[in-house]
Amino acid sequence: MADTQTRRGFCTQTCWALSMTAFSGALATLLESCGGGSGLTGSSGNIQGLPSITASANNGTIALAVNSSSPLASVGSAAVLQYQSGYLLVARTAQGSFTALSAICTHAGCLISAMAGSDYVCTCHGSTFDMSGKVLSGPAPISLRQYPTSFDAASNTLTISV
């Protein structure tokens, strides 16, 4: 016996197929708008993971030894710093100058732990920030919070106020 399709069955299958096609297109558009497309190479090149440092905050400050074996030893270097209350992005911007920023993306709260060239990259949705925390490309709506730093060249100690 031949399998015949009713008009109702044909219409049901056609509507289902069209609905799935429309849903797929809408989902792709939504994901692309969050930066989940192929744009995760950053504005300055390929993405590189940042080294991590663990430290402790005491009385609202973090003290880090920045010696030749530190990931922050050279100008232009950066690292993710983990401490009791969270994560910071720390970068050496000049011989005696550092920046410390919140490492939590202002878009969806993801941990920023990568760079493309000299830009921080949130790999969750593709937001990029410069070394001062300014948004270079979204979807992040606001800059990263910056924390005061001071560097004692005599003792090679970086102090971050948190």
DSSP secondary structure letters along 46-112: SEEEPPEEE--EETTEEEEE--TTSTTSSTT-EEEEEETTEEEEEEEEETTEEEEEE-B-TTT-PBP
- 25 and 52 share one domain: no
pLDDT at 141 over 80: yes
Least confident span in 4-8, 72-76, 102-106, 112-116? 4-8
- Identify the pLDDT of residue 46: 84
What mean pLDDT value characterizes the chain?
Answer: 81
Amino acid at site 39: G
- 100 and 25 share one domain: no
What's this model's pTM, rounded to 2 decimal places?
Answer: 0.70
Query: Tens of pLDDT along 103-128?
Result: 999 998 899 999 998 899 998 888 99
- Residue 38 inside a domain? The answer is no
- Residue 100 inside a domain? The answer is yes
- 155 and 117 share one domain: yes
CATH of residue 154's domain is 2.102.10.10
- 124 and 69 share one domain: yes
pLDDT at 64 over 90: yes
Range of the domain at 23: 1-33
- Identify the pLDDT of residue 142: 94
Instruction: Specify the number of domains making up the chain.
Output: 2
- Identify the pLDDT of residue 45: 55
- Residue 40 inside a domain? The answer is no
Query: Tens of pLDDT along 83-96?
Result: 999 999 999 999 99
Helix, strand, coil % in the chain, rounded to nearest 5: 15, 35, 50
- 8 and 68 share one domain: no
